[in-house]
Structure 1
Amino acid sequence: MTTIRRHCVAHAALLLCALSRGTFAQDTASGDGALPAVTVTADAPGASPQHLGTKIGNGALGTASQLDTPFSTTVVTHEELADRQVSKLGDVFALDASVSDNSDAYNAWASYITIRGLPIDWQNGYRLDGKPFLAYAITLPYEHMERIELLKGASGFMYGFGTPGGIVNYVTKKPTDQPVHSIEIGYKTQGIWSEHVDLGGRAGTDDRFGYRLNATHEEGKTFNGGHTQRDSVSLSLDARLTRDLTWTFDGLYNKRKSTGQAASIYTGSYTGTTLPSVISSDNQNLLSAGQHITTDLKMASTGLQYKLSPDWTLAAGYSHSTSERSRNEGVLYLLDTSGNYTDYRSDSQEGHRFDQWQVTAEGRLRTGAIGHQLVLGASWQEQVNRYSSNSVYQAIGSGNIYARNTNSYFSNTDFAVYRASDITQRAVFASDTVALSDHWSVLAGLRSTDYEQNGYTASGVLSSQYKKSGVWTPTLALMFKPAPDTTLYASYVESLEPGSSAGITYANYGAVLDPLKSKQYELGVKTERERWSATAALFRIERGAEYANSANVLVQDGLSIYQGLELAASTRLGSQWRLGASLMALDSSYEQGSTYVGNRVAGAPHLVATASLGYDVAQLPGLKLSADVKYTGSTMLNASNQLKVPGYAVANVGASYVTRLGGYDTTFRFAVNNVANRKYWEYQYENYIKAGDPRTFSLSAKLDF
C-alpha cells in the first residue's frame, strides 16, 4: 500500500503542476455549478478507420497513399494506439485478420507476429522511420509513434532482404507547425505506472527550426507477478536551411528490463498428439527464480532533402543503431499430456549493430502523352551480430506446468561477446510508375543486390562465407482506377532473405543455411468512399521451406505455399455508430520434394476473423465506447502436423472521454483486454507455445497544455 500511495501522490503532483497556471480556479469560481465548456476533436463523419488516403513509405517505391499502393497494407495511427492502450505488437494489429499474435508483452517474444502465416524476420523485417534496426526482443515505445505501417507480403524490391511475411515500419512523431505540449499518466494491471511527456513546435526566424521530444518512464508489477521497467526518449529535429534544402535528425533511446517473465514452452520433445489443458498465464507457476530480459536500443539517423525542381527531390541519409540484450530465460521442454517438463535455462548476452547509407532521386517527367513517377537509388548497409562464446544452456530441474516451479538459476557469468557474423548488402534500385491514361498505370521496379555473409569463430577466424553478386528482385504491377477513390491492381514481387541459423534446440546447432528466394502474386481492390471503405486481396506466396526433419535437423527442402483471401471493411452508421470487420482465409502447404508434402505449414492458421464496434455517446459529447473480437483458427505447431494449437477468440472493450479541465483539453482512456478472461494456448514459433495473456485493464489521463 505504501508503494501505491507514493505512486498516486507523485502522479497527482505531476498533474497539478500542469494545472498550476490557475485557469482551473478561474473556470470553476463562477459558483453557478456549470461545467466547463467541452470542445471535442473527432474524425470527420466520413473518415475511414482504414486510412486509405494516408501516405506511407514504400522503400524503393517512394511515398504513396495506401490507396495507390498495389500491395496489401495497414496503418495504425497514434490515436488508435492510445485508445487501445497497446503493450505489444500483437495488440497494435489486433483488428487486422492477416496478423496473428505470437507475443507476450514482457518477455523476449514481445514483437513476434505472423502475417499471412509467415513470421516477420527479426533481422530485416522492422524499420524505424524507414531505417533498419535489429528488433529481436525489442519493444518500442508506442507512445512515441505517429503511426505504425504494415506492408504485407514479399518486400524484396522495396527494402532488400526480408522474409515474405512483410515489413513493420514505426514512424516517430515529427515536428508540427502548431505547438504540442502534453503529459500523460497511465496504469496497467497489476501495478504498472507510466508517465509520458510530448513536446513539439517550431522556433527561429520564419519557424525555420522544428523539434519534437517524447519521454516515457514505465515501471511496476506485471500481471503474472514479475516486474518491468522502461525508459524511452526520442527526439526529432528539422531545419529548413534554405527554401529548397531541409536537414532532418531522428534519435531514439529505449532501455527495458523485465524480471520474472514466463518461461517459453518447447514442444519438440512432446510425445502427445494434443496439448495439455491450458494454464492461466497470470499465476506464478512458470516463474522459476532468476529469469530476466534486458534490452538496450540506441538509434540515430540524419539526412538531407533537396528540392531540385517542383517535380524532383534528391535525398541522402545515414542511420546507425545498436541493440543489446542480456537474457536469462527459462525453456520448458514439455514431455507429456500431464504437463511434465524438463526445465532448461538459457543465459546469454548478445549485441547487434546496423549501419545504412542511402541516396535517392524521386520525381516526375513526361514522354509525350505518358507520365512517369520515377524513383532511383543506391544503398549500402552492414549488419554485425555479436554473441557470447560462453553462453549457458543447461537443464536445471524438472516440474509440472500445473504446479509451482521451484527450480532456480541466477546469472553468474561474465560473458565474452565476440563478432560472430556480419552481413553486407550493396544495392541499386529503380522504379517507374507509368500513367498510360487517366485510369490505367503500370509499375515496374528492379533491385540488384550484392550480398556477403561471413561467420567467425570466438577467436576471430573466418569460419564460413557466402557471397552472391547481382541478385535481382523485381516487382511489376498493373493498376486500374475506375474512379479517383478506387484502385484495382495485380502485382508480382520477389524477395530474398538470408538463410536461418540453426538454434540450440536443433541437432545441427550453429549451422547457417543458404539464402531463400520467394515469389508473391496478388490481385486486389481498395476503395474509400465518404462513409465507408473496403479492401480485398487474393494472394499466393511461394517460399523455400525450412523446418526440422525427423532427425531434428533444420533443413531447407521443397517449398512452402501460402494462398489466401483477405477482406476488410469499415463504415459509419448514422452519426454515432462505427463498424469494422476483417477476414483472412488461408490455405498453406509444403510442396515440391518436401518430406511433408501436403501438410499444412507450421504457424499458418486456416482462418482469422475480426469485428469491431464503436459508439459515440450523444448524451455525453466526447465519450466514445468500443468493443472488438478476434478469432484465430487452429494452427499447426510443426511441419509433421503431429501437434496443433486449437482456435480461440479474444474480446476487448474500451472507452475514451475528451473534455476540458481548467481550460485544458484532457483525455481519459480505459481499456480491458481479454474481457472474458479466456484461457488459450497461443502459437509462438515453430514448436513453441505460450499461455495467452489473461484479462488486463489499463487507464490513462492525458492533458494538453
Structure 2
Amino acid sequence: MKSSTCSRGTGGGFRMRPMACAAILLLSMGQPALAQQNSAGQTPALDQTTTDKASQDATLPAVSVTASKDPLQHLHEDVSSGALGTRTQLETPYSTTVVSGEELEDRQVKKLGDVFAQDASVSDNSNPYNAWASYITVRGMQLDWQNSFRIDGQPFNAYGITMPYEQLESVQLLKGLSGFMYGFGSPGGIVNYVTKKPPVTDKQIASVDVGYASTAVWMSHVDLGGRVGPDSMFGYRFNATHEEGTTYNGGNVRRNSFSLAADARITRDLTATFGALYQDRHASGITTAISTAQYTGTSLPPTLSGGSSTLVTPDQHLDTNLQIYTAGLRYDLNQDWTLSTTYSFSKSTRYRNESTFYLLNPAGDYNDTRFEGKEGHQLNTWQVMAEGLVKTGPLQHQLVFGAAYQKQTNDYTANSFYGQIGTGNIYQPNVNRYDSQGFYTYRNADITQKALFASDTIALTQRWSVLGGVRYTNYEQHGYDLDGATTSTYTQNGVVTPSVALMYKLAPTTTLYASYVESLEAGNVVSESYANAGAVLKPLRSKQYEFGVKSQNDRWSATAALFRIERGAQYANSDNVFVEDGESIFQGIEAGTDVRLGNNWTVGGDIMWIATHYEKGSSNDGNRVAGAPGFVAAAHVNYSVPAMPGLTVGADAKFTGNTNLRPSGDLNVPGYMIFNLGATYTTRIAGHNVGVRAALDNVTNRRYWAFQYADYIQPGEPRTVSINARVDF
C-alpha cells in the first residue's frame, strides 16, 4: 500500500510530503500511508463482536484529518470494496493501496503510473501525452481499460484519459481479482478515483493554486466547498482547473476540468448525493507508440530520452472528453442497517491521429504506420444495496445484499485510417505527415451485465471471522456492422464468481487472512494491428489465492501478502493472430512497511518478487509472462527540518527488474532505477495558509526503455521539474 506522510497541520494548514524517498537500501521498509476518506454514516465493518468494537476503537490510535501524527498506512480508514460494501483496509482480506489527495498534490502527478510510484506491485506503463495514459501493470497483469476503472465507485472507460488529479480526494487500488466485488474485469485489479467531497462540518473551503511543469506547462486550480441552508442542510464542493503549455517532448497540451460534488441531508436518516465531472483535453505532438512486432534483433536499440523531438510530429494528436454524472440516495433504517441506491452515466470520447513506429532492427529503423479515427464509450449503471449487522445465537453477521445493472456501448469510426505512411529512424527527425479526413462513427458493440450479489462476514469468536460471498451475473455482448445489423453475439447467463476468506485477529491492530476469489473478464475485440482484427474473443476465467497480514501501530505499519493467480493466456501467435491459448500463472510475494523515527524522520519501502510462466498452451509453455517484471523495489525517506518549521524534504527511488517483452521470451526490457527529489514548505502569510511544493523527477536524467504493452516499449520520461504554490482563504 502506498504511504503518505503528508498531513493536515493544526489551524487548517497543510504539511506537504514531497515525492519522497531515497536509498534502495531501505527496501525492507515500505508502503506509504493510505488516504483518508470520510466514513460518516457508513455501516461499520464487523471486527470481533459488537461489544468488543467499542473497546477496540478505544485502543486503536485516533485518526483525524487535522492531526499531525496520523497513522502511517491508515489501515483503519475505509476503502470501497464493491459487493463487500465499505470496510476498513484492516478488515479487507485482499491487498489494497490508497493514495491521498495530499500525496497526489505533493508528487504533482501527471499520469496514473506516478500515482503508484511507491508501490512495488505496480509497474508504470503510462504516458501523460498519448493514449496510454491509464496503462499500469499490477502483479504482472495489465489493467483492463474497459472494466478496471471507476470514479466514486462508478465505472467509466479510461482509455486515453488523463485524470484531473488535483481534483481528487484519493485514489484507491484493489489488487488482484475483482469478479465478486465488481463483476467482469481484469484480474489485475480495480482503480477507484474518489473526487473531493463537501465538508462534513460547517467549515468553508477556499483555495487557489498555480503550478508549472517542464518545459512550459502552466496550471491554475480553484477549490471551493462548504455547507449552506437551514441546519447546514446542503453541502457542495466545486473544483475547476485550466492547464496549457509546451510539454517536455515539444508537444502542446490544453485542458479544462470541472467537478462538482453535492449532498442534501433531507432528514436525519436520508441523504441525497450528486456528482459531476467534466474534462476536455487536447494534446498535440504526442509521443509515438513504438512496436517491436516486426523487430528482428535480440536486444533493444540504444535508449533515447522520452523528451526527444524525433519521436513526435506536430500532426499527431489526442483529443479526449470525459463526462460522468452520478446521483444517489442513502437511508439509515437504524443504527445497524442502511439502504442505498446509485445511478451513473458516463461518456468518454477520443479522437486520435497517432503513429506507431514498427521497429525493424537495432539501428532504429522503422515503418511508420498511422491510425486516425474517433472512438466513444457510454455506460449507464444502476445499483441498489443493503448493508447491516444481525446476530444469530452466538454468531454475528455483517451482511451485504445488492443488485446491479450496467450497459456499455462502444462507438467506432466507420472510415478510420490505418496504414503505413513512410519510414524513418528513431534517432532522426520524422518527416512523415498525414492530413486529417472527415469521419463518422457507428455503434460497434454493446455489453450488458445484470447481477445479484450477497456477502456475509461472520464473527465466530473475538478473533476468528469468516467471509463468504457470491455474485451471479448474466452477460450479453453484441457486435454490429455499419448498417446496424448484428455481426456477433456472445451470451453467458448464470456466471457465478465466488469469494471466501478466513481472518484472524492477532491483536486489535493486526489481521491475518487467507482469501480465494474468482473473476471473469470480458472477451477482447482484437485491435487493428493483428491479422484477426475485429474478432471478439471469449471471456477469460481467473482464480486468485492470497495469504496476507496487515498491522497498523502508532509509529509503524506493515503489510505483506503471498499470492497465486491463474489466468487464461492471450497473445499473438507466429501468424500474428491474437489468440486465447493455455494459462498464465502469477505467484509471488509483496511486502512493505513505514516507520516513523523520532519526530522528524519517516522511512519506508516496498518490494515485490513474482514468478510467472505460461502453461497448458500450444506454445510458449514455461516462458515468463510478458509484462511481468521479476522483481520491483521502492524506498523513500522524508525529513522535517527542525530549523525551519513547515519545511519537509525527501527523496524516493524505484527499481524495476527486467521484463519479458513477448510471450515467446526472445526479447527483454532491461531493468532500471529512477531517483526523485521533493520539498514542501508551509507557512502563514497575512493570516492565510500558504504552501509551496517542488518536485524533481528522474534526477539523474536516466535514459531507459520501459515496457508499455506486449511488443510495445516507450522511452522513459526525462528529468522534469514541477513547482506549485497554493493559498488557502
Report if TM-score (shorter chain) is over 0.5. Answer: yes
1:333 matches 2:358: yes
8 Å Cα contact 1:48/1:571 also seen in 2? no
Corresponding residue for residue 256 of structure 1: 281
Corresponding residue for residue 84 of structure 2: 61
1:383 matches 2:408: yes
Which letter maps to 2:104? L
Aligned counterparts, 1:539-578, within 5 A: 539-578=563-602
> What is the rounded CA distance, in whole Å, between the counterparts of 2:13 and 2:187 in structure 1?
45
Aligned counterparts, 1:498-517, within 5 A: 498-517=522-541
Give, in angstroms, the shift of residue 483 of structure 1: 0.7
Q: Secondary structure at the match of 2:624?
A: coil
Aligned to 2:447, which of 404, 417, 423? Answer: 423
Q: Which has the bigger relative contact order, CA under 8 A and spacing at least 6?
A: 2
1:107 matches 2:169: no
Corresponding residue for residue 61 of structure 2: none
Q: Secondary structure at the match of 1:216?
A: strand
Aligned to 2:198, which of 172, 175, 180? Answer: 175
Corresponding residue for residue 685 of structure 1: 709
Aligned to 1:535, which of 559, 563, 570? Answer: 559
> What is the rounded CA distance, in whole Å, between the counterparts of 1:141 and 1:698 in structure 2?
16
Which letter maps to 1:362? E
CA offsets, 1:178-232, max 9 Å, x none?
A: 2110000000000000000000010011100000000000000000100001100
**In 2 relative to 1, CA 255–391 (structure 1 residues): closer, same or farther, beyond 3 Å?**
same
8 Å Cα contact 2:15/2:681 also seen in 1? no
> What is the rounded CA distance, in whole Å, between the counterparts of 2:618 and 2:347 in structure 1?
38
Give, in angstroms, the shift of residue 432 of structure 1: 0.4
Aligned to 2:380, which of 328, 351, 355? Answer: 355
Corresponding residue for residue 312 of structure 1: 337
Aligned to 1:342, which of 360, 367, 370? Answer: 367
Corresponding residue for residue 139 of structure 1: 162
Which letter maps to 1:151? L
Which letter maps to 1:645? V
1:128 matches 2:151: yes
Which letter maps to 2:174? L
1:478 matches 2:502: yes
Q: Secondary structure at the match of 1:158?
A: helix
Aligned counterparts, 1:24-43, within 5 A: none
Q: Secondary structure at the match of 1:285?
A: helix
1:621 matches 2:645: yes
Corresponding residue for residue 200 of structure 1: 225
Give, in angstroms, the shift of residue 343 of structure 1: 0.6
Give, in angstroms, the shift of residue 389 of structure 1: 1.1
Aligned counterparts, 1:409-448, within 5 A: 409-411=434-436, 413-448=437-472
Q: Which runs of 5+ in 2 are unaligned?
A: 1-10, 17-65
Corresponding residue for residue 663 of structure 2: 639
Give, in angstroms, the shift of residue 44 of structure 1: 4.9
Moved over 4 A (4+): 37-46
- Computed over aligned residues only, the root mean square deviation of the Cα atoms, in angstroms, reads 1.2
> What is the rounded CA distance, in whole Å, between the counterparts of 1:593 and 1:86 in structure 2?
40
CA offsets, 1:441-480, max 9 Å, x none?
A: 0000000000000000111110000001110000000000
Corresponding residue for residue 425 of structure 2: 400
1:695 matches 2:719: yes
Corresponding residue for residue 59 of structure 2: none
Give, in angstroms, the shift of residue 289 of structure 1: 3.4
Percent identical across equivalent pairs?
56
> What is the rounded CA distance, in whole Å, between the counterparts of 2:71 and 2:333 in structure 1?
35
8 Å Cα contact 1:494/1:518 also seen in 2? yes
Give, in angstroms, the shift of residue 49 of structure 1: 3.7
Give, in angstroms, the shift of residue 482 of structure 1: 1.4
Aligned to 1:285, which of 285, 299, 310? Answer: 310
Q: Secondary structure at the match of 1:514?
A: coil
CA offsets, 1:656-683, max 9 Å, x none?
A: 0000111100110000110110000010
Give, in angstroms, the shift of residue 407 of structure 1: 1.0
Which letter maps to 1:182? S
Aligned to 2:681, which of 633, 645, 657? Answer: 657
8 Å Cα contact 1:161/1:496 also seen in 2? yes
Which letter maps to 2:133? A
Corresponding residue for residue 155 of structure 1: 178
> What is the rounded CA distance, in whole Å, between the counterparts of 1:189 and 1:227 in structure 2?
12
Give, in angstroms, the shift of residue 94 of structure 1: 0.2
**In 2 relative to 1, CA 553–38 (structure 1 residues): closer, same or farther, beyond 3 Å?**
closer
> What is the rounded CA distance, in whole Å, between the counterparts of 1:506 and 1:583 in structure 2?
36
Which letter maps to 1:53? H
> What is the rounded CA distance, in whole Å, between the counterparts of 2:308 and 2:358 in structure 1?
19
**In 2 relative to 1, CA 393–309 (structure 1 residues): closer, same or farther, beyond 3 Å?**
same
Give, in angstroms, the shift of residue 704 of structure 1: 0.3
> What is the rounded CA distance, in whole Å, between the counterparts of 1:416 and 1:215 in structure 2?
32
Corresponding residue for residue 100 of structure 2: 77
> What is the rounded CA distance, in whole Å, between the counterparts of 1:661 and 1:45 in structure 2?
20
8 Å Cα contact 1:40/1:621 also seen in 2? no
Corresponding residue for residue 595 of structure 1: 619
Aligned to 2:610, which of 582, 586, 596? Answer: 586
> What is the rounded CA distance, in whole Å, between the counterparts of 1:38 and 1:139 in structure 2?
30
Give, in angstroms, the shift of residue 165 of structure 1: 0.1
Give, in angstroms, the shift of residue 38 of structure 1: 12
CA offsets, 1:152-180, max 9 Å, x none?
A: 00000000010100000000000002211
**In 2 relative to 1, CA 45–249 (structure 1 residues): closer, same or farther, beyond 3 Å?**
closer
Give, in angstroms, the shift of residue 283 of structure 1: 2.1
Corresponding residue for residue 521 of structure 2: 497
Give, in angstroms, the shift of residue 592 of structure 1: 1.4
> What is the rounded CA distance, in whole Å, between the counterparts of 1:185 and 1:110 in structure 2?
23
> What is the rounded CA distance, in whole Å, between the counterparts of 1:470 and 1:642 in structure 2?
41
> What is the rounded CA distance, in whole Å, between the counterparts of 2:582 and 2:618 in structure 1?
4
Corresponding residue for residue 94 of structure 1: 117
Give, in angstroms, the shift of residue 288 of structure 1: 2.4
> What is the rounded CA distance, in whole Å, between the counterparts of 1:87 and 1:367 in structure 2?
50
> What is the rounded CA distance, in whole Å, between the counterparts of 2:547 and 2:644 in structure 1?
44
Corresponding residue for residue 6 of structure 1: none
8 Å Cα contact 1:559/1:594 also seen in 2? no
1:227 matches 2:252: yes
Which letter maps to 2:171? I
8 Å Cα contact 1:370/1:436 also seen in 2? yes
CA offsets, 1:518-560, max 9 Å, x none?
A: 0000000000111000000000000000001111111111100
8 Å Cα contact 1:306/1:313 also seen in 2? yes
Give, in angstroms, the shift of residue 39 of structure 1: 6.7
> May I ask how many residue pairs the two structures share in their alignment?
668
**In 2 relative to 1, CA 528–594 (structure 1 residues): closer, same or farther, beyond 3 Å?**
farther
Q: Which runs of 5+ in 1 are unaligned?
A: 1-36
8 Å Cα contact 2:72/2:555 also seen in 1? no
**In 2 relative to 1, CA 515–38 (structure 1 residues): closer, same or farther, beyond 3 Å?**
closer
> What is the rounded CA distance, in whole Å, between the counterparts of 1:369 and 1:315 in structure 2?
28
Which letter maps to 1:557? D
Give, in angstroms, the shift of residue 47 of structure 1: 2.8
Q: Secondary structure at the match of 2:181?
A: helix
Corresponding residue for residue 28 of structure 1: none
8 Å Cα contact 1:524/1:536 also seen in 2? yes
8 Å Cα contact 1:144/1:172 also seen in 2? yes
Aligned counterparts, 1:37-52, within 5 A: 44=67, 46-52=69-75
> What is the rounded CA distance, in whole Å, between the counterparts of 2:312 and 2:138 in structure 1?
30
8 Å Cα contact 2:14/2:691 also seen in 1? no
Which letter maps to 1:128? I
